Amino acid sequence: MDKVCVTYKIPEQGQRLLKRYELKVNTQDHFLDKSELIDFAEGASALVTLLSDVIDREVISRLPNLKVVATYAVGFNNIDIVAAKEKGITVTNTPGVLTEATADLTLALILATTRRIVEGDRLVREGRFEGWKPELLLGTSLKDKVLGIIGLGRIGKAVVHRAKAFGMKVVYHNRMPASKKEEKTLDVEYRSLEDLLKLSDVVSVHVPLTRESRHMLSASKLKLMKPTAVLINTARGAVVDEQALINVLQEGKIFAAGLDVFENEPDVPYALRELDNVVLLPHLGSATMEARMEMAIMVARNVTAVLEGKQAPNRIV
């Protein structure tokens, strides 16, 4: 019987679908490091992983029975796709089912930063609320402001729809510009990365982390942003040069940042935690009960398909 190893407990709906196999789930509240993972997954035909599991060439070579790595995430920058492909191992992810949840969280961060929600909450909790004041914690409105979307994939587009409801204008940057027809339907305009950064009031990142996108928002790029602008990142921390971002925030070169992801998770630099003009979340983009349940079912279906010799529905390689 095929052995399926799951590196961290996922919602029951997914585990139930995998019970037909010899199922081994890490039920401790503990992430496996590389050597623990290799031991844990010994003899596995299928491996269900989290985005924090590093599935590199070494791990792949140490698991010779492996037929499929099904990551419980849409992003797959933690997996060496080339090494997997060389060994004929299928890699799958969970696209689509977390799009709306992540777009919702992006809007939550846009509103939290532009309207200073977290600062306000802190003020009340600390007993510093002295009554309504004409200029207490003023933020900025969204109507007629420009949202710059970097990465017009599924999530980027879902953010566009939401931003339109707030009366925002949207420009985007993408490796491949969308078709004229799609631009018209979405009511968005293409800009170079530099122009987008110069003219946007809200910049939101929705690209996957790749060699090309690492530090795409470098110190020199971040300096192009308006002093009144906010940066939102719900994609991957390393797309932004985190130290450069800390510098522009400290120097007041941008208004605020809303971050759901960090360069070296779970480490969040102390300098970032000290700033008032940032909202920091523990990677909650897809954290709705609905999305996480759908993701669990999706990984199980991908594993099952490969083990039955069929094409995986969400195959990357």
Tell me which residues are annotated as active site: 236, 265, 283
- Look at the alpha carbons of 124, 130, 135, 141 in this order and tell me if their dihedral is positive or negative: positive
Kindly tell me which of 116 and 236 has the beta carbon lying closer to ligand GLV.
236
Partners of 105 in the β-ladder: none
Give the ranges where the chain is alpha helix by DSSP (H).
12-17, 34-40, 57-62, 81-86, 99-114, 117-125, 154-165, 180-186, 193-199, 219-222, 242-250, 270-273, 289-307
Report if residue 51 touches ligand GLV, rule: CB under 6 A. Answer: yes
Q: Does residue 229 sit in helix, strand or coil?
A: coil
**Gap between the Cα atoms of 110 and 203, Å rounded:** 9
Kindly tell me which of 95 and 258 has the beta carbon lying closer to ligand GLV.
95
Smallest gap from Cβ 88 to ligand GLV, in A, equals 24
Phi (first) and psi of residue 84, to 5 degrees: -65, -45
Smallest gap from Cβ 264 to ligand GLV, in A, equals 15
Smallest gap from Cβ 286 to ligand GLV, in A, equals 5
Q: Which stretch binds ligand GLV (CB under 6 A): 5-13, 41-49, 72-80, 176-184?
A: 72-80
Report if residue 237 touches ligand GLV, rule: CB under 6 A. Answer: no
The secondary structure of residue 178, as a DSSP letter, is P
Kindly tell me which of 229 and 299 has the beta carbon lying closer to ligand GLV.
299
Q: Which stretch binds ligand GLV (CB under 6 A): 9-17, 95-103, 239-247, 267-275?
A: 95-103
Contacting residues toward ligand GLV, per CB under 6 A: 51, 73-75, 95, 98-99, 153-156, 206, 285-286
